[in-house]
Amino acid sequence: MFAMTLWLGNSAYLYISVAFAQMLKAIMPVAVFLLGTAFGLEEMNCKMLAIMSIISVGVIVASVGEITISWVGVVYQMGGVVAEALRLIFIEIFLKKKGVRLNLISMMYYVSPCSAFCLFIPWLFLEKPKMDASISWNFPPVTLFLNCMCTFVLNLSVFLVISRTSALTARVTGVVRDWSVVLLSAAIFADTKLTFINIVGYAIAIVGVVAYNNHKLKPQVNQQQGADSKVSPGSPRHVEIPLNSTKESS
């Protein structure tokens, strides 16, 4: 599922702008909640239904405000969102059944080689023949290396933020990061044209995302505070890293 997230998510950038792709990603909590309900991990209630409705309305409004929309890119992006949601669901099932606790860095040791293998096979049959037939194609090692370094630094920074503060802080900073991606991509790329409807729709979706984060993480924060109050001063504190509180960069 992680390999599918990378494949479909990156393919979407060939058809839609970075800003619009980021807006569509705001629908992620809805996909996670609906699939979690189907797998018996979440319970449907009025509050969560209201939050999911706010996010959905925001994404729909942002999509209506898009000037040049490509439905092929939308399908790719939505496929990536579903794959990412399934990945989080499978991780949660694995952790609840096996009782294993892994932080983000340790998790990447297992996921990355498996994802590379899953991506190598379709690349060999689908993309490599096109690359061999293209005369103008060239391999940019510097750009690819910098992209890999940015991804590693992102995962490392998320790990440090959660270990030093909390998962709630990491999610709040993630919202700020999402807004930064939308605004910076609109300023850098000429093909990105933000409209007022785009901004309003994305703002509505972000309000729903913040409400979702607060609803999901508030019990964890209260539990952690209760555990901290029982720890004597000067004693080491064990920090548990929730895997489903972070998003890998593609």
Contact 246, 162 (CB under 8 A): yes
Residue 92 to residue 62: CA distance in whole angstroms: 30
Give 8-35 pLDDT, tens digit per residue: 988 998 898 888 888 888 888 888 888 8
Contact 16, 72 (CB under 8 A): no
pLDDT score for 205:
86
Residue predicted with more confidence, 83 or 40: 83
Residue predicted with more confidence, 145 or 238: 145
246 has a pLDDT exceeding 50: no
Residue 206 to residue 213: CA distance in whole angstroms: 10
Residue predicted with more confidence, 123 or 103: 123
